[in-house]
Amino acid sequence: MPIQSDCMVYFLRHICLILCCNLCIIQLQGQRLEELMIELDTTSNDTIRQYIYSDLSWYYSRINTEKCLLYADSTRLTAIKINDEQWTARADFYYGVCYKNDGQYQLALQHLQKIYDYYELKKDTAAMADMLYQISVAHIMNSDKANFLITTNQTIDYYRQVDNLRMVAMTLGSKSIYYKDEEDFIAAEEVAQEALTIYLSQKDSSGLANIYNNLGSIQAKQKNYKKALSFYKKQYDINIARHNRHGQGYSLENMGSCHLKLGELKQAQTHLQEALAIRRDLNGNYELTGSLISMSELYLEIQNYNKATTLCLEALTITKKHQLGNQQKQALLLLSKIEEKQHNYKESLSYYRQYEAQKDFLLNETIARQTKEIDAIYNTKEKEKEISNLQLEDQLNQSRISQQRMALGGAAIGLSLLSFLLYRLFNQNIKIQSQHKIITDALKDKDTLLREIHHRVKNNLQVISSLLRIQSNQTTDEIAIDALKEGQSRVNSMSLIHQDLYQKGNLTGISMKKYLERLTKNLFDTYNISHDRIKLSTVIEDIQLDVETVVPLGLIINELITNALKYAFPDNRSGNISVSLKEQSSQLILIVKDDGIGLPNETEHPSFGHGLIGAFATKLDGTISITSVKGTTAKLVINAYRKV
């Protein structure tokens, strides 16, 4: 029994550590590492040992690849030994993070995809979000921008579903860097400011350090170096307070680069030397290479060519060993410049040719990945073309049979006519195919744009909803809390619409059955209503309605159910609420009914909600009637609606 108790204590502590850190960098210092090693030596319980192995693998993931992989192996072997399915699978996460930090992105993606697939089968949304976040980071570090944007948007959706605002902000931070690299600076700052708002509301110092780094890099990319320095200084102060050496290395390197661009060489050298010392101590290949290249650029600027060459060659060696393609390209170009400054034109040309070869290699890798996708599309189109040719051949055969039955005197005329028709058909077919391609490409662009618009609208609405929820948690006035909750439920009713639109193939229609099921569930959750106390029954026809109809209708239903939940069952009474929606005689009939205490006096009933219901009913060319017999029944008859 004591062993089981110790195991449960360690398990809870381990899970809390993961949840609190949310897959960010855990700053395990010497004392924490020593504690883990002591626990490993003193316990014989394999369940506890697998947790310790995983902690050690995470600790070494940024500083020692060999040890990280060793402890990941130990995690998996121990989990297999005790028949722990989840942790046998989870070992792939530690392999993936280790390979990602070491720059071996294809290996990282293989392991991370395996653990993502495992959690997808388990329908564990929170874990899926964590895995997808790491996959998106691996994509952007591997310069795979298209897959990065897809996985990042999905990651944000998953984190919002589990209400993990901190990781929403962290993923938004990654997205802001993507937009910065694409030189869409307006979008980059907009997304970064959204993340900053969340971090400030959460009082998250680690997150604030990361987003100040992003804001600084956005300004630096636009050559606003003074403004960039102000953000990097904020990041550095936070990292100092948190004793985060990994973060200090980034801050110092960024500040040094800005000073170098401003011609402030003394400050640049001080910061870059400190950053390089930290990177050598932590031994992360990707970060160390970046510092070596930055320091080499400084020595080139001050014409210390020997030191510039030494550091750049060291960087080149690391990039070749660990296949850091983009940094290898940077190192080769810098070596070419160093040799050129010394008038060593032969060596300069040699490095430049290697730079061009590396650039072509990276381009070819990208083309090869895209070619696979194009091949799949091409094969599909070839099959369609083959079917079309067979159909055309069948038509020609039928025409030939008819021609053979004609008199011999008309054979020549028939053949000429057939040739003419075939010529016209051929030309028409070419025009149709060309027009079809233009229309298909335009529709794809339109769909992509519409999905992004709906995605952004939904994100903005959910940010508003989160801010309303945060405000209600910090408010003590009951009237204000009720008003904030009502506002939150109205915003959520609209957010669900845009979420449905960008997640499905049809970008214009909403399934009312699915939408109302999700809307009612959210309302019960918002007002913390138990389904055992108030039972909900629905009879909803599976009608597809357009957005212009669903927005006002959803807000009306939101108000009616909210009123029932708030006023129909006082003093924790039990009861029933029913919702029905059907199409009858070219009209939509909505009925919301409860068996509560009935309508209160007019002076006691809130008027704002009634005003909204009346306004939206008018918009739908509808009439609403409310009766109070054995509860309250609201019936809305809608004349102006559009099905999709």
H or E element, residue 253: helix 245-261
Q: Which residue has the higher pLDDT, 454 or 218?
A: 218
Q: Find the range with the poorest average confidence among 51-60, 305-314, 588-597.
A: 51-60
Instruction: Summarize pLDDT for 5-48 with one digit per residue, the tens.
Output: 444 434 334 433 333 333 333 344 445 677 888 888 888 898 88
Mean pLDDT of 481-504: 68
Q: Which residues pair with 540 in a beta bridge?
A: 581
**pTM score, whole prediction:** 0.45
Give the pair of three-digit tokens for residue 94.
């530690």
Q: Find the range with the poorest average confidence among 186-200, 482-496, 630-644.
A: 482-496
Q: 575 falls in which pLDDT band (50, 70, 90)? A: very high
- Out of 96-105, 371-380, 395-404, 586-595, the most confident range is 586-595
Q: 431 falls in which pLDDT band (50, 70, 90)? A: confident
Q: 215 falls in which pLDDT band (50, 70, 90)? A: very high
- In this prediction, residue 216 carries a pLDDT of 93
Cα radius of gyration rounded to whole Å, the chain: 32
Mean pLDDT of 465-480: 74
Query: Does position 516 have pLDDT exceeding 60, yes or no?
Result: yes
- In this prediction, residue 172 carries a pLDDT of 93
Mean pLDDT of 225-233: 94
- In this prediction, residue 413 carries a pLDDT of 65
Q: Find the range with the poorest average confidence among 216-225, 557-566, 585-594, 600-609.
A: 600-609
Q: Which residue has the higher pLDDT, 600 or 230?
A: 230
Percentage of the chain modeled with pLDDT above 70? 77
Buried b (16+ CB within 10 A) or exposed e, 512-534: beebbeebbebbbebbebeeeeb
Strands of 237-276 (E only): list them.
none
Q: Dihedral, CA atoms, 75, 81, 82, 87, nearest 10 degrees?
A: 30
Q: 398 falls in which pLDDT band (50, 70, 90)? A: low
Task: Please give the span between the terminal C-alpha atoms of the chain, in angstroms, as a whole number.
Answer: 62
Query: Does position 589 have pLDDT exceeding 90, yes or no?
Result: yes
